[in-house]
Amino acid sequence: MEILNSTIEDIDTLFRLYEAATAYQKEVGIKKWKGFERALVEQEIQEKRQYKIIEDGKIACVFVITYNDPLIWKEADADPAIYIHRIATNPDYRGRSYVKHIVNWAKKHAAEQNRKFIRMDTGSGNDRLNNYYISCGFTYKGITGIEQTEGLPEHYKNGTFSLFEIDLSKLAFYHVDAFTDQLFEGNPACVVPLENWLPDAILQKIAKENAVPETVFFIPEGRNFHIRWFTPEHEMDLCGHATLATAHILKTELYRGEDKFRFHSKSGLLEVEVNGDQFTLNFPSRKPVAAELPAIISASLSKQPKQVLKSRDYVLVYDTEQEVRELVLDRAMLEQIDLKPGGIIATAKGELVDFVSRFFIPQASIFEDPVTGSAHCSLIPYWSEQLDKTEMDALQVSERGGKLRCEQLGDRVLITGTAVTYASGLLKVF
């Protein structure tokens, strides 16, 4: 899918789409367009304000932008804003959530043009359309009328209009529980889509204020994304559950038609594939090797492991699942050691699954992580070798708990799980 400027060669197609949209408006009983002057559309093309969405080599949707709309927005027109008008979708491509794609494009365009608002209007009284625009990230701003001035387009005469706005000084966020299909289980993450990077100090403050194990930020980068993860204390090199949460939001809220997402990160290129409600992370394998356990970690343990390994994290292997469940670590003692961005994994063969684990982070406000996807970059290659299996089921036996389907794939691991959205809203950080 591409969003490009329309050209004069497209003008006949534009009018066919306008005619199809008008017929559809009449069919569903909403206020319909009354036709547009060809000269107007030619001028919009010349001024590079007419845009088209290309799918499969065809024009799937068109829209227009302006930078002023005093008839509709009156005094608020003084604000630096982009106004989106006249969205018309090819009937063969309806149902593909193009408004959401247009909004994401408009956010980037607004940033380039130093505009603080994205705005739309539609004929009032259409609750279904109003709710759809709200689901696309707009805030409903009420109803307005228009003075009956000379030259007013026919469809604006004798009507009232619902107003919608996205305030770009406020950041959308989504609170997601990952590696679970139940609310209040799994590992919570806050997902914050951005168009451009904010200063690192602001990102860290947002993560601290959110006070969940990870806050994840991402920006579009071509057809892919650039992703970063922050705990309340510091930036991480890799995070599984927050990446799963991001893919969940991209699929369910932002890019419903996509089934694969690619992220550039501190740990290289990461991929997530979607199959129904299942999200499969393609992450680097980090096989742990034999290591000596620092004395302070050893002293903090209620029971010593039978084996110690290390990659990014220390991996402590125990004989039984019960030992892992009952393990107690002296948090105060571990405040004396800094392992960031790593931590301490306790693991054992599982009773009902292939293996279980827990994950602890010294000097962190959240001492035990509920479900740790990145830890499985080490657990999967270890247990694959121990069990002589490439596909395994895992359980993180924290208080909230989480289920993971795992696969060893050469120098990569596949980690599959589900996610549910708990909340969404706006962060006002400026």
Q: At what angle do helices 38-46 and 11-28 cross, to 10 degrees?
A: 120
Quote the tokens at residue 213: 């194990």
- 112 is annotated as an active-site residue: no
SS3 349: strand
What is the distance between the alpha carbons of residues 281 and 26, in angstroms, rounded to a whole number?
45
Give CB contacts under 8 A, 24+ apart, made by 320-325: 320/348, 320/349, 321/348, 321/349, 321/350, 321/351, 321/356, 321/397, 323/348, 324/348, 324/356, 324/357, 324/358, 324/397, 325/356, 325/358, 325/397
Strands (E), 196-298: 214-221, 224-230, 235-236, 260-265, 268-275, 278-284, 289-290
Strand-pair category, 391-396 with 402-409? antiparallel
Give the 3-state secondary structure percentages of the chain, helix then strand then coil, rounded to 5: 30, 35, 35
Q: DSSP state, 250?
A: I
Nearest alpha-carbon partner for 214 in 222, 204, 223: 204
Neighbouring-strand partners of residue 45: none
Q: Read off φ and ψ for residue 411, nearest 5 degrees.
A: -90, 15
Residues in CB range of 149: below 8 A, 6 or more apart: 71
What is the distance between the alpha carbons of residues 308 and 35, in angstroms, rounded to a whole number?
74
* Cα 366 to the center of its chain, rounded Å: 23
Identity of residue 71: L
Q: Read off φ and ψ for residue 165, nearest 5 degrees.
A: -145, 145
Catalytic residue from among 214, 253, 321, 368: 214
SS3 307: strand
Enumerate the active-site residues: 214
